[in-house]
Chain A
Amino acid sequence: GAVVSQHPSRVICKSGTSVKIECRSLDFQATTMFWYRQFPKQSLMLMATSNEGSKATYEQGVEKDKFLINHASLTLSTLTVTSAHPEDSSFYICSAQPVLAGGTSSYNEQFFGPGTRLTVL
């Protein structure tokens, strides 16, 4: 089956530092990846859509200058949390949509990474 990896799985950092999280599709290509955030006992909240070769689109209320997204290849998207603060501590999860034959995306199928648990001290 389709596998998506995230790295690191867990990170603890000091307030004010930046943290980069990688999301990789291991056995398929993905022109579109999504970044979610989940606070304890809450649902996953879509943060942004990462598009290979173009700018990410952010959901309302998500600061694009704070959460930098780069999707430089068909198998890798990165999320950088800049100047992290304790309130950014959360579970960050990515998902990837496979590219089907013909170059279209499988809109109804997404594969999720295992998540990255960020703790900002």
Chain B
Amino acid sequence: RKEVEQDPGPFNVPEGATVAFNCTYSNSASQSFFWYRQDCRKEPKLLMSVYSSGNEDGRFTAQLNRASQYISLLIRDSKLSDSATYLCVVNRGSSNTGKLIFGQGTTLQVKP
């Protein structure tokens, strides 16, 4: 079983749509959770950290369910520029060593 699992997609949505991505992680001791965005052939860039209480940044909302070991990302009012691969990222273990485990990524294509 992969440490971080995501549906690879692709998700093809029209502009203005709301889209949700899900992710599960296997290590219950993980303490830190993130969503990164990666554009084609580029490095990943931090989109947002994910906190236990859930958090929002503009059109993006992240949720964490520790009991189910499940993380989600909701994008409202999708823009063409949101087209990218979204990576669910979890730190490995409880010691917060900084080791990040990346999911395979979910590809989003926003169409006009």
Chain A interface residues (CB < 8 Å from chain B): 32, 34, 36, 41-46, 49, 91, 93, 95, 97, 105, 107-108, 110, 112-115, 117
Contacts and interface: CB of A to CB of B under 8 A. Distances in A.
B98 A32 contact: yes
Contacts of A95: 100
A26 B96 CA distance: 24
Nearest to B104: A43
Contacts of B32: 107-108
A44 B98 contact: no
Interface stretch (B43-51, B54-62, B68-76): B43-51
A97 B96 CA distance: 12
A105 B96 CA distance: 10
Contact of B45 (A34, A43, A97, A112): A112
Contacts of B4: 43
B101 interface: yes
A49 B49 contact: no
5 contacts: A46-B100, A91-B41, A107-B91, A110-B98, A112-B44
Contact of B43 (A43, A108, A113): A113
B36 to A, nearest CB: 9
Contacts of A113: 43
Contacts of A114: 42-43
Given A42-B104, A43-B103, A107 B98 contact: yes
Given A108-B32, A108-B49, A49 B105 contact: no
